[in-house]
Amino acid sequence: MGGILIIGAGQAGASLAQKLRAEGYGGDVTLVGDEPVPPYERPPLSKAYLLGEMEKERLYLRPPSIYDDKDIKLLLGTPVDTIDVLKKSVMVGVDSLCYDQLALAVGSLPNRLPHAMSRDLAGIHTVRTLADIDRIRPRCRQGAQVLVVGGGYIGLEAAAVAAKLGLKVTLVELAQRILSRVAASETADVIRAEHQAHGVDIREGVGVECLTGDGRVTGAKLTDGSTIDLDFVIVGTGIRPDTRLAEAAGIDCDNGILVDGFGRTSAEDVWAAGDCTCFPYNGNRLRLESVQNAIDQAEAVAANMLGAQSPYVPVPWFWSDQYDLKLQIAGLSTGNDRVVSRVSEKGRSHWYFKGERFLAVDAINAPRDYMVGKRLLEMARNVEPAQVQDPDADLKALLKA
C-alpha cells in the first residue's frame, strides 16, 4: 500500500487526512478507525444528540461521500492490532498494511470505575462514543434516577442534559468542589448554583464506595455512609490518552505519546496528533483534551509530514454549554496565584494571574470578555489585573494599547 496511513478516524484523524489533500499530497491516504461509523463530532453526543435534538447524520464531520471525492480510503470498524515500526507496517486482523509514513490519532479512553466499586454490574455508562450514547438514550425516561460520578466538564454536562430530560440526578465529586482542577471557585459557584436550580443534587467531597444490585445496578453506597436508589450510572471521571498501540510498538510515552514540536514521535516516520499526544509547551510538556487542539495539531502535523517544519504552538481554549450558561475558557490557569473577577448584568469572567502575568480567562455568558482574553494570549500581550476588573472599562482598548 505505502503512502500515509492514519490510525484513528476521529476529529484529529479526519482533519489530518483532509489537510494532506488540501496541501496537495497526491499519494495514498488511508484512514483506519475502530468504530463502524464515519468520523463524527463528539461534543454534541452528550448534549444535542442525547437530548434528541440532533440526528446521527448531522454528527458526521463530512458527508461520507467526501472521502471518496478526496480519494481518502476509509477502513471503518477495523481495530489495529499491532504496529511494526521496523517493517513500517500495521496488522489489522490477518491483514498487513504497509506505510511510508504513519500518523497516530488514536485519541483517548474514558476512565472507568474500578471493579471493586462497580462489580461489573450492568447499567454503568461512559459518554465517549456514539455507541455509548445510544445505550444511554433508552434509559433517559422522565423520573428515572441517575447517579453521575465526577464533577468535571464531562460529568456536569451529562447531569445538565439528564436534568433537562426530567431525570432525578445526583452528582458526586470526590474532591472538595466541582471543577477543582480546571476552574476558579468563583466559576464553580456559578455552575453549582445553576445545577441546583435545576434540581441536581450535588454532593462534593463525596465519592462512591460501591454500587449495589443483582446483575444490574440499583443503588449506591457513598463514602459519607449514605445510600441512594438509582436506575443507572454515568461515569464522567475524565479521560486518559490511548497509548496502547504506541507502547507495544516501543514508541516513547509519558502521559501520552511523546512528540516533538512538529509532531514526530520517537519512531522514524511515525507522527501523532490530538488527545493522545504530549507535546512541548512553554518549557514543559502538555496534553490537551479539546476539539480545537485535535484539529489544529492534526493540521500542523499534516503540513510537517509534507516538509513544512512548522512548530505547533497553541493557545488552548475550551467551552462547555450547561443549561443557559455558556462557559468559555482561553489559556491555562495552572499555577495561578490570583483571580480577578469582572461582573456585569449579562455575565461574568474570571481572569487568572501568576504575579503580574496574565494566564487565562473563564467567561460565563460573557463572549466579549472571552474573545479579548483569548486575543491577548495570542498576541502574548500582558494586562494588569485592575484593567480587567472594572466592568465599565473598555476591554477592546487593551488590544490597541
Mean pLDDT of 133-158: 95
pLDDT at 139: 95
Q: Are residues 149 and 218 in the same domain?
A: yes
pTM here is 0.93
Render pLDDT for 165-220 as a digit per residue (tens, 0 to 9). 999 999 999 999 999 988 888 899 999 999 999 999 999 999 999 999 999 999 99
Residue 318, domain member (yes or no) = no
Render pLDDT for 252-294 as a digit per residue (tens, 0 to 9). 999 999 999 999 999 999 999 999 999 999 889 999 999 999 9
Mean pLDDT of 25-34: 97
pLDDT at 335: 85
For a pLDDT cut of 70, what percent of the chain falls above it? 100
Q: Are residues 142 and 202 in the same domain?
A: yes
Taken in order 34, 39, 41, 46, the sign of the CA dihedral is: negative
CA 246 to chain centre: 20
Mean pLDDT of 369-384: 92
pLDDT at 1: 62
pLDDT at 152: 93
Domain boundary among 215, 235, 255: 235
Q: Which amino acid is at 299?
A: E
Domain boundary among 235, 255, 290: 235
Opening angle at CA 108, ends 105 and 112, nearest 5:
160
Predicted confidence (pLDDT) at residue 365 exceeds the cutoff of 90: yes
Q: Are residues 277 and 138 in the same domain?
A: no
pLDDT at 289: 92
Task: Give the residue numbers spanning the domain of 336.
Answer: 324-399
Residue 314, domain member (yes or no) = no
pLDDT at 359: 94
Residue 164, domain member (yes or no) = yes
Mean pLDDT of 342-367: 92
Q: Are residues 379 and 394 in the same domain?
A: yes
Residue 310, domain member (yes or no) = no
pLDDT at 401: 64
Mean pLDDT of 227-231: 97
Mean pLDDT of 226-230: 97
Number of structural domains the chain divides into: 3
Residue 131, domain member (yes or no) = yes
Q: Residue 72 is part of a domain; what is its CATH number?
A: 3.50.50.60
Predicted confidence (pLDDT) at residue 132 exceeds the cutoff of 70: yes
Residue 76, domain member (yes or no) = yes
The 3-state secondary structure of 152-168, one letter per residue: CHHHHHHHHHHHHCCCE
The Cα 323–Cα 280 span in angstroms is 36
Residue 365, domain member (yes or no) = yes
Q: Are residues 73 and 217 in the same domain?
A: no
Residue 319, domain member (yes or no) = no
pLDDT at 391: 83
Mean pLDDT of 328-343: 91
**Burial of residue 276, with CB atoms counted within 10 A of its CB: 0-12 exposed, 13-18 middle, 19 or more buried:** buried
For a pLDDT cut of 90, what percent of the chain falls above it? 87
- Of 309, 308, 304, the C-alpha closest to 273 is 304
